[in-house]
Amino acid sequence: MPRSVLFHKPYGVLSQFTPEAGHRTLRDFIPIPGIYAAGRLDRDSEGLLLLTGDGALQHRLTDPRFGHPRTYWAQVEREPSADAIRQLAGGLSIDDYRTRPAKAKLLAEPPAVPPRDPPIRFRKSVPTAWIELTLTEGRNRQVRRMTAAVGHPTLRLIRCAIGGIGIGGLAPGEWRDLTAGEVERLHLIGGIP
């Protein structure tokens, strides 16, 4: 059975194995041949990244028609109003597309996450808040574009779950093998055989 792993991608790491001058890549953390990222996180985003050597699973996790849920924690400038949260949940027009409806909520407390290195910019006069967004699509820099569209730029972005599988207690840079049950659950995403 091909290997599949869950990786906690640190800030500043590229979601690729190919070396690139001046940047850390997956190769710096995961010494497993024959696995590939099933999706991407931007260099300035952190959190859960799934890697697999299972071609069918790779396809299921990257083909938009399966619409698997991805949950993010976004630290944003200022506290969003209830109306801003409704707009995020209802779908937004951004550039040349409209986002699908999403689950969105303001978190009462910041999530228990390790400090980022380097830390986000701190401005004494501009408070921050954390929101949780669950999307079923993954366009380029979508969460950042969505929060900016409602007037709350994203300062820090962490993907905390994919298809109901969470990042758990993994520290940035750590990885673990997915269990057989987790792989099976991911193969069932989207309800399409």
Strand blocks (E) in 27-177? 36-37, 46-52, 70-77, 93-94, 97-98, 103-106, 128-135, 154-162, 165-166, 175-177
Q: What are phi and psi of 108, to 5 degrees?
A: -65, -35
What's the pTM? 0.93
* Tally: H helices and E strands in the chain: 4, 13
Report the DSSP beta bridge partners of residue 105: 132
| 69 pLDDT more than 70 | yes
Same fold for the domain at 4-64+166-191 and the one at 69-162? yes
Compute CA distances 59 → 51, 66, 121, whole Å: 12, 9, 37
Burial call 107-136: b when 16+ CB within 10 Å, e when fewer: eeeeeebeebeeeeeeeeeeebbbbbbebb
Question: Which range is most confident: 7-11, 37-41, 167-171?
Answer: 7-11
Q: How confident is the model at residue 30 (pLDDT cuts 50, 70, 90)?
A: very high
Write down the H helix ranges in 34-169. Answer: 55-62, 82-90, 142-149
Closest-CA residue to 129 (of 150, 108, 145): 108
Question: 69-162 architecture in CATH?
Answer: 2-Layer Sandwich (3.30)
- The string of pLDDT tens digits covering residues 149-188 is 999 999 999 999 998 899 988 999 999 999 999 999 888 8
Domain map of the chain by residue range? Answer: 4-64+166-191, 69-162
42 annotated active-site: yes
| Selected catalytic residue, list 28, 42, 54, 63 | 42
Euclidean distance between CA atoms 80 and 101, whole angstroms: 18
Burial call 65-79: b when 16+ CB within 10 Å, e when fewer: ebbbebbbbbbbbee
| Cα 55 to the center of its chain, rounded Å | 21
Euclidean distance between CA atoms 136 and 39, whole angstroms: 13
Cβ atoms 72, 157 nearer than 8 A: yes
- The string of pLDDT tens digits covering residues 124-137 is 778 999 999 999 88
Closest-CA residue to 75 (of 32, 107, 117, 34): 107
Euclidean distance between CA atoms 8 and 165, whole angstroms: 12
Q: Which CATH number does 4-64+166-191 carry? A: 3.30.70.580
